[in-house]
Amino acid sequence: MNILEVAVKQIDEKAQQLQGAVCGNSINSLEEYKYLCGELQGLLIARGYLLDLKDSMGQYDDDN
C-alpha cells in the first residue's frame, strides 16, 4: 500500500465518521451541521484529488 492509498483510506474512515454524525441524531445546531457538511465536502474533494494524482502517476509509470 503506497502513501496515496493510505491517505485515501484515512479520508474514507473520517468521511464515514462524519456521515454517521450527520445522519444520526448527534447534531445540536444548524451551525454544527453546516460545519460537518463542509468538512465532509472538503474531505471528498481532497480524496478526488488524491485519486486523480494516483491515476496520473500510474499513467506516468506506464509511459516509462
Provide the mean pLDDT of the chain: 90
Q: Does the pLDDT value for residue 33 go beyond 80?
A: yes
* Residue closest to 51 by CA, chosen among 59, 39, 62: 59
The whole-number pLDDT of residue 42 equals: 98
- Specify the pLDDT at position 58: 80
pLDDT of residue 41: 97
Backbone phi and psi for residue 29, each to the nearest 5 degrees, phi listed first? -155, 165
* Average pLDDT score over residue span 39-60: 92
